[in-house]
Chains A and B, each alone.
Chain A
Amino acid sequence: MKPPPFSYHDPRTVSDAVKLLASLENAKLLAGGQSLMPMLNFRFVQPDHIIDLNRVEGLSYIRESGGMLEIGAMTRQRDLEFSDVVKARWPIMHEALLQVGHRQTRNRGTIGGSLCHLDPAAELVALATGYDATVTAVGPNGQREVPFAEFPVAYMTPSIELNEMVVGVRFPQWAPKHGYAFVEFARRHGDFAITSAAVLLEGDASGKITRASVTIGGMGTAPSRAREVEAAITGQVPAGNMFREACETCRKLEAISDVHAPAEYRQHLATVMSRRALEKAYARLTGTETAPARPH
């Protein structure tokens, strides 16, 4: 349970980090280390070089700009959790972060690291999917923007080249008064969810849903949008079993079977988590939320 031998590099600038990435074979970027370090300890990965990003300047920031939340790749999950801007304008991120690991891991874990590790059950990955976030990557040929829908290419594999690194991510803003909820089922608090649901809603004065984003995490090889649910509820005033019936379509989403749960169980959870998230988000949208929010 000790990391294998490697050469260690701690560049101070993004351009130095990119140069190292371009010149070194079998190199791994070390961000917050909350996934890579266990993998090193287990020797699941055996890189020849570790490029530690913790001393790179200018990669830790939270900025509101032009209706977008701009986050530096090395921004700690803790900083996002305690950010007033995030709490006020991107409140689902605050709610989701409280379910990301524990205080000790959020103090170190970064948003860039979470997104690039790309665990299908990771809360921040589900949010980036739900928001259609945009990832900024830098490589030897300069900078490029990657829409999050194109970011996962396979299980835990982002569409980032070996000589590129993620430097930031942008989350668009929803209407000042929008409904939101992040609901997950995990065996223990702080575990990766077996299945999660992230919901954003906009509505009009009559209570009609005018815009919806419903994301299911922990199901397939990456979080995915429940487009059938979104289509079924947009333009509707919820009544009766509308959410329940709409969420039944989640049973058809692709799901993986693993040691934690079989696919059918995840598909069942997806119908339940998405319904609960929709009910909570709609209550928040219309100001009718009654039950106190669950503390984390």
Chain B
Amino acid sequence: MGESRKISLTVNGKRYENQEVEVRVTLADFIRHQLGLTGTHLGCEHGVCGACTILFDGLSARSCLMLAVQADGHELLTVEGIAPSPDELHPLQQAFHENHGLQCGFCTPGMLTTLLEFLRDNPDPTEQEVRIAISGNLCRCTGYQNIVISALDAAKRLQAVK
């Protein structure tokens, strides 16, 4: 094993202290293999597919393009942290569920984290804006149509909650 460091960080509200990690390990691999949060998916591992998108201090980022050591002292949100409780879906997840916004589900973690940030910044988007927002997330099943419908539906749901 090569050089390693100890890092402390918060993931989905849970504090992880002094986690030993090899410095060359990507944040995505750390989240999946060391924290066991396998909801974050790895498609391309070079920043093209968007499946590994997480929120880093509230901003979407590709966890395959970061090193785990860079997360020391920071706060992460992964797909596991979106739902308010184990038996309740977030309105964005509910919208995906009801509008058939996923088929195989591989791209879904990245879609959800990307859209969570997008709908926070842009609560009433147009269809075109949604398409651009998810332009960095590849889906090979849906043809994107139901994802766009889900996102627009989620925007309505989130506004109704407010």
A residues bordering B, Cβ < 8 Å? Answer: 1-8, 10, 30, 33-34, 37-38, 40-42, 50, 52, 54, 78, 101-105, 107-108, 188-190, 295-296
Interface of A is mostly: loop
Distance in Å: Cβ of A203 to nearest Cβ of chain B: 32
State in angstroms the CA–CA spacing of A1 and B126 once bound together.
Answer: 37
A3 to B62 alpha-carbon distance, docked (Å): 15
Given known contacts A189-B132, A295-B126, A104 and B24 CB-to-CB distance under 8 angstroms:
no
- Taking the closest CB of chain A, its distance from the CB of B33, in whole angstroms, is 11
Q: Which residue of chain A lies nearest to B44 when distances are taken between CB atoms in the complex?
A: A1
Q: Which of A1, A37, A101, A103 contacts B118 (CB 8 A)?
A: A103
> Which chain B positions have C-beta within 8 A of A10?
69
A44 → B minimal CB distance (Å): 10
Q: Report how far A188 CA is from B29 CA in the complex, Å.
A: 28
A102 near B23 with CB under 8 A, answer no
What's the Cα separation between A32 and B45 when bound, in Å? 16
Interface residue from A3, A34, A296 paired with B47 (Cβ < 8 Å):
A34
Cross-chain contact A295 with B3 (CB below 8 angstroms): no
Contact partners of B103 in chain A: CB under 8 A = none
Query: Per a CB cutoff under 8 Å, which of B5, B47, B60 touches A37?
Result: B47
B114 at the interface (CB under 8 A from A): yes
On whether the beta carbons of A2 and B70 are closer than 8 Å, the reply is: no
Separation of A194 and B135 alpha carbons in the complex (Å) = 18
- Cβ of B136: which chain A residues have Cβ within 8 Å of it? 101-105, 190
A78 touching B59 by the CB < 8 A rule?
A: yes
Whether B152 sits at the interface, judged by CB under 8 Å, is: no
Partner of A107 from the list B25, B61, B126, B132 (CB cut-off 8 Å) is B61
Q: Is the CB of A33 within 8 A of B132?
A: no
- Count of chain B residues near A, Cβ 8 A: 34
CA distance A30 to B50 in the complex (A): 21
The A-contacting residues of B in range 42-69, CB under 8 angstroms, are: 45-47, 50, 53, 56, 59-62, 64-67, 69
Neighbouring A residues of B126 by C-beta, 8 Å: 295
Q: List, sorted by A's number, 25 A–B pairs whose CB atoms are closer than 8 Å.
A: A1-B45, A2-B25, A5-B24, A7-B3, A8-B5, A33-B66, A33-B67, A34-B65, A37-B64, A38-B46, A41-B26, A52-B70, A103-B60, A103-B117, A103-B118, A104-B50, A104-B60, A104-B114, A107-B56, A107-B60, A108-B61, A108-B62, A190-B135, A295-B128, A295-B129
Residue interface mask B111-140, A partner, CB < 8 A = 1: 000100110000000101100110110000
B46 touches A42 (CB 8 A): yes
Complex contacts, B84 vs chain A, CB 8 Å: none
**Interface pair B133/A8, CB less than 8 Å apart:** no
Pick from A2, A5, A42, A103: contact of B3, CB under 8 Å: A5
Indicate if B143 sits at the interface (CB-CB under 8 A).
Answer: no
Q: Establish whether residues B132 and A3, one from each chain, have CB atoms under 8 Å apart when the complex forms.
A: no
Give the docked Cα–Cα distance between A8 and B66 (Å): 13
Given contacts A7-B23, A41-B64, 17 further A-B contacts (CB under 8 A): A1-B46, A2-B24, A2-B45, A5-B2, A5-B24, A8-B67, A30-B67, A38-B46, A38-B47, A103-B114, A104-B114, A105-B65, A107-B59, A108-B61, A108-B62, A108-B66, A189-B132
Residue of B nearest to A52 (CB): B70
**Residues on A with beta carbons closer than 8 Å to the beta carbon of B70:** 52, 54
Please pick, from B23, B45, B64, B129, the residue contacting A6 in the complex, using a CB distance under 8 A.
Answer: B23
